[in-house]
Structure 1
């Protein structure tokens, strides 16, 4: 599909940020967006890059009533030589379509997904910040917009991409977080939508997250929804535990997100000579192994933070420090290597980087 670029006058362009240290996350958006429509009987039509502006949706738009919505998250980086790089965008395209299939939405051709993002980012490249730790966050999404009150897949969809320059995730330094193991609420169950990146999963996590923050924790670690016993994932991260030189993480069994950074961490861990285990982790085993020192590090992985060290884990009345509350050597090495590849400071021998021409 040819994507049309609609004109944007100088008067319609926004004033760009002047202080990259105050960017934050997801608060500022660029001048343009990508929009493509899918209509029953026609398929994907009318691809265009246009002015970033609000949608006009019918109050009966099905996304507002039945939550047919999916999204992705990835980043663009401006390297020291002025080139622009994406990190594994084809993986986002495949996960996006995996989510689409689960929610009975049309798949977006991988070429349209990736090429559309490349074209949009190339047009908006002046918005990419260049300070240490900054990047251009890319948010593809799809919503059902057919005006119909009735439970069924929509006949009309918007696939769109918006861009947001974001600041360094660790503005105060690379510091460990405190995590509460959630023992009351559940996020997902087998056969549900846990492995789909859909807004409903995040809406259902809000209450537990707010309650945890009131208690002084940064994030919630979910247990499985059947036994309330096995470790799954943190709200925005896959979770890892180091037993010395063995890295352990929960298996992909349909209830947690198939993290792209997760896959990258596992690849690098093997490359570093570490043993990798994808297996169920009993929360009681976990707490005992932290207490006895068998677990030497804990960290999460995700697009926003890349790798996040965990300094303390709390479950019921137990609150235990991991690695003395500090950053472990494997955690630091994985973070340094991943961010180094993403920003061009370390050679990419895995084919993860896609340059925008």
Structure 2
């Protein structure tokens, strides 16, 4: 779904009432995740006749949308998650932003939405980081970036919208999980499925996350940090967590992770960890792995570690797994050495502390 596209020129309208420096510094003392937001947002509109137009950087503010806007009724919406980091030498950098742009386009195609060209996506992100660079925390914090797009046509017919709004907002964040890098606990969902073949599992759309919330609430009620889903057909094969991909570290040092078969999200962190693991000489198998094998391998000691990964959480060791009828622990319930090494290697590249042999880090000019 695409109209003729020209690259729109951004109209920059600085926020006339930015958060005072002292107030922002105070807020940075206790950063959570996704509760504090920067002064500006990037907005671009799309229309079936005009294509991409009306690009602007403006003060962050609520949208005014009609009650009949089609996103409210048919959930045509997609989003991305990415981060800006402050390096030790003071640069503001992004990590593999072009991959976010490509995945956003793939999600748009699956949801019958217009594909925003990569160069427009990247310009919107970079302009927002540039104007709100003071919102990038030092130390272990980062500026979480949320590009998203939704259908805005006022229309109740069941068809793709003819109008869309693309927006990027920014939120300074600390660790995703309370307690930092400690191992997390997982609940195995046996009654709910995240995605099925032919569905939207590989798209980053809000509906996937909405359908996972009841299972996540089930996990929380059982004292777990996250939920893991099994496949929809057999309820046998491990797929992914509510918002993260999963890896298993075997006794021979090899890694196993579920394959990209169309029902799980092709994580950028996942792909980066596979590359870093192979750089270390580790073997990575992208193959199905059953819950029965997970349980048996943990109990026999054949499975040494397990971890989840994603932009928000980065890498989190899995220490305990609960399911109907019991639970088991992995590696004594602590984050293992392979997990720690991969996490450190990834974070070192992201924050400019080590070489970047793959050319993943993109510095933002003028920041």
Instruction: State the TM-score bracket (shorter-chain normalisation).
Output: over 0.9
Alignment partner, residue 334 of structure 1:
342
1:49 to 50, 53, 57: 57
Alignment partner, residue 149 of structure 2:
142
Determine helix, strand or coil for the equivalent of 1:91: helix
Contact 2:307 2:318 in 1 (8 A): yes
With over 3 angstroms needed to count, the CA separation of the structure-2 counterparts of 1:207 and 1:170, relative to structure 1, is: closer
How far, CA to CA, are the matches of 2:283 and 2:174 in structure 1?
A: 34
How far, CA to CA, are the matches of 1:29 and 1:101 in structure 2?
A: 29
Determine helix, strand or coil for the equivalent of 1:168: coil
2:211 to 188, 204, 212: 204
Residue 288 (1) aligns with residue 299 (2)? no
1:14 Cα deviation after fit: 1.9
**Structure 1 residues 48-105: Cα deviation after superposition (integer angstroms, max 9, x where no partner):** 1111000010100000000000000000011121110000000000000110000000
Question: Which shifted more, 266-275 or 312-321?
Answer: 312-321
Q: How does 1:301-320 map to 2 (within 5 A)?
A: 301-320=309-328
Contact 2:192 2:215 in 1 (8 A): yes
Alignment partner, residue 322 of structure 1:
330
Residue 68 (1) aligns with residue 76 (2)? yes
How far, CA to CA, are the matches of 1:218 and 1:90 in structure 2?
A: 31
How far, CA to CA, are the matches of 2:77 and 2:205 in structure 1?
A: 6
Alignment partner, residue 33 of structure 2:
25
1:152 to 149, 159, 172: 159
Structure 2: 5+ residue stretches without partners: 1-6
Determine helix, strand or coil for the equivalent of 1:333: helix
How far, CA to CA, are the matches of 1:257 and 1:76 in structure 2?
A: 21
Determine helix, strand or coil for the equivalent of 2:25: coil
Alignment partner, residue 261 of structure 2:
253
1:139 Cα deviation after fit: 0.2
1:170 Cα deviation after fit: 5.3
With over 3 angstroms needed to count, the CA separation of the structure-2 counterparts of 1:173 and 1:23, relative to structure 1, is: closer
1:23 Cα deviation after fit: 1.3
Alignment partner, residue 40 of structure 1:
48
**Structure 1 residues 273-328: Cα deviation after superposition (integer angstroms, max 9, x where no partner):** 11110011111111111110110000011001110000011232131110011111
Q: How does 1:169-248 map to 2 (within 5 A)?
A: 169=176, 172-244=179-251, 245-248=253-256
How far, CA to CA, are the matches of 2:264 and 2:14 in structure 1?
A: 41
Residue 99 (1) aligns with residue 117 (2)? no
Residue 14 (1) aligns with residue 22 (2)? no
1:171 Cα deviation after fit: 5.5
How far, CA to CA, are the matches of 1:142 and 1:185 in structure 2?
A: 27
Contact 1:61 1:147 in 2 (8 A): yes
TM-score between both structures, scaled by the size of structure 2 = 0.95
Determine helix, strand or coil for the equivalent of 2:335: coil
Contact 1:223 1:232 in 2 (8 A): yes
**Structure 1 residues 196-240: Cα deviation after superposition (integer angstroms, max 9, x where no partner):** 100011111111111110111111010001111100000111000
How far, CA to CA, are the matches of 1:170 and 1:146 in structure 2?
A: 37
**Structure 1 residues 143-183: Cα deviation after superposition (integer angstroms, max 9, x where no partner):** 00000011100000000000111123355342001101111
Alignment partner, residue 3 of structure 2:
none
Determine helix, strand or coil for the equivalent of 1:175: coil
Determine helix, strand or coil for the equivalent of 2:247: strand
Contact 1:21 1:167 in 2 (8 A): no
Alignment partner, residue 357 of structure 2:
349
Determine helix, strand or coil for the equivalent of 2:292: helix
Determine helix, strand or coil for the equivalent of 1:18: helix
Determine helix, strand or coil for the equivalent of 1:296: strand
Structure 1: 5+ residue stretches without partners: none
Contact 2:14 2:40 in 1 (8 A): no
Alignment partner, residue 86 of structure 2:
78
1:21 Cα deviation after fit: 3.4
Number of corresponding residues:
354
Determine helix, strand or coil for the equivalent of 1:258: coil
